[in-house]
Amino acid sequence: MEKQLLINNPYIPKPYKILDFYRETNDNFTLKIDIQVNHDPGQFVQVSIPGIGEAPISICSDSRNFIKLNIKEVGNMTTALSKLKKGDTILIRGPYGHGYPMKELKGNNLILIGGGCGVSPLKGVIDYIENNRKDYKDVILFMGYRSPDDIIFKRDLDEWKRIYNLQVTVDKNPQGKFCYDGEEGFITEALKKANLTNENKVVLLCGPPIMMKSSIDILKQKGFHDDQIFISAERLMYCALGVCCHCMIRGQFTCLDGPVFRYDQIKDFKND
């Protein structure tokens, strides 16, 4: 009995093999993990390395044969993860939380807006759409980065541009240092210029809080309603089980009720 309880303990991660490692930018990389699990776009897993720590990472793929995790190096834990290689073992528990409600959104036109690392969970949405393309109408993608050197998922951009209406912007191209022929300026500027109407459209949004707030303001000026917008909220999730209460937003737990929320459910969340 004790052994069975230990195996099913949601606090205890299990080891999984890394199938592939590839670097997206100087400080961003993607891991492909040999784990077979059902999940929704926007859900996350808790990744750990003994003696170093644990971190919540969004799933950026849609497959039942593996998961992909896109990770930015921002501290000891993510730096340690960046030193792993194909064939190494990693500890994972999850997936956790609620993702983007893709089944409920069937039949809609979709607008995806991602900023920086916020493109990562939206990559899982894009993969899901590709696997279920007949369920959705037009798809518009807005992706914004600091510079051309910060663009992630470069290997997918040509295909996305061919299939969808894709717009990529960079805040600035330092002195033309990089070979880049796209738009320069904040992603919110591109959003302002876009001819968008709210008819039969749903917006899926992820990125820095200030970028999401500005994007929502622009969308509302264009006639979008709060219940047409879904955001992935940024809160550090320690336990992922609603125990530590660290990730609470307006009485809801990000790790259990989110990280994806319909905007009217946590309106003005940044002031909590």
Q: Computed from CA positions of residues 244, 247, 250, 256, in that sequence, does the dihedral angle turn out positive or negative?
A: negative
* Predicted local confidence at residue 1, as pLDDT: 43
* Predicted local confidence at residue 245, as pLDDT: 72
* Predicted local confidence at residue 20, as pLDDT: 97
User: What span, in angstroms and rounded, lies between the C-alpha atoms of 124 and 221?
Assistant: 28
* Predicted local confidence at residue 197, as pLDDT: 87
| Helix/strand/coil percent split, the chain, to 5 | 30, 30, 40
Sequence-separated (6 or more) residues with CB below 8 Å from residue 232: 42, 58, 100, 118, 121, 205, 206, 258, 259, 260
**Which residues of the chain, if any, have pLDDT below 50?**
1-7, 270-272
User: What span, in angstroms and rounded, lies between the C-alpha atoms of 123 and 160?
Assistant: 11
* Predicted local confidence at residue 138, as pLDDT: 95
* Predicted local confidence at residue 191, as pLDDT: 94
* Predicted local confidence at residue 216, as pLDDT: 95
